[in-house]
Amino acid sequence: ACGICRLTCAPNRHACYGGAFMENIVNVTTPHHPASSLAHDDSKGSDPADEHAGHDMGPATAAATPFKAVDPADQLYPCSIFGEKYQSACYGMQTSVMLHNNGGDMEDAARSCEKAPKAMRTTCYASLGRDISSYARQVHAEAIRMCSLGSQRYQPWCFLGVVKNLIDLNARADDGLAFCRAVPRDGNKQICHAAVGEQILVLTPDPDKRSRLCEGSEPGYLPACLFGAHVNRQIPQALQRVYASVE
């Protein structure tokens, strides 16, 4: 799949890689998903040797060797076998693999994220937040409880993953801001409000409307939302300190 992804421009290529990693775990957890049928459809009589053409995502293997989707002995697999250019897309889905392997143990998944390469730990925590949003059935208190199982250093990105998923589901910025108001601690709130701003940027190209959508922010956190929404381009110092804490 990622051989095909290389033919597209960079942003689309990253999304294509992410889709490949998503289908990898979906094919394991939901074997009757339509993508599984396509991946294993032999009805067209294709040459098995062609199935792996252009496949350079992992170590060199014999063409006929099927790709191992997950490895219960390695919570960072398959990300652990791929090169740098695939890391962000892979770790953006990796907690779905982790939670499949560990039976939904959020604390274990958070600990596993902290074993990822340093540059990928916030991405992994954001992936965890997205999954937590689903596991918690969008119940704010339960999502906050689950994210709080991770270390305080990386928790903000778990809340980022939750709030972005909440807005992705219904395109309502106010729902995201309501979640941010319930989130504990300043660093978590800073990143949460900035994430709402980033989603607002996707929702509308109108800077005045983006500014209005941020107005529901909790007092003190409006600058973070406006920065995320690209209304203000100067990063607030409080938000910068949170970013710096994981550099």
How does pLDDT run across 87-143, given as a tens digit for each residue? Answer: 999 999 999 999 999 999 999 999 999 999 999 999 999 999 999 999 999 999 999
- Of 41-45, 141-145, 168-172, the poorest mean pLDDT is in 41-45
- What is the Cα 234 distance to its own chain's centre? 25
Average pLDDT of every residue of the chain: 85
- Of 49-53, 129-133, 154-158, the poorest mean pLDDT is in 49-53
Q: What is the Cα–Cα distance from 215 to 196, expressed in whole angstroms? A: 11
CB 175 within 8 A of CB 166: yes
Q: Which of 56, 78, 57 minimizes the C-alpha distance to 69?
A: 78
pLDDT of residue 243: 97
Torsion of the alpha carbons at 177, 178, 184 and 186, rounded to the nearest 10 = 30
- Of 51-60, 73-82, 129-138, 194-203, the poorest mean pLDDT is in 51-60
Q: Which of 222, 156, 165 minimizes the C-alpha distance to 199?
A: 165
Quickly state the pLDDT bin for 31 (edges 50, 70, 90). low
pLDDT of residue 66: 77
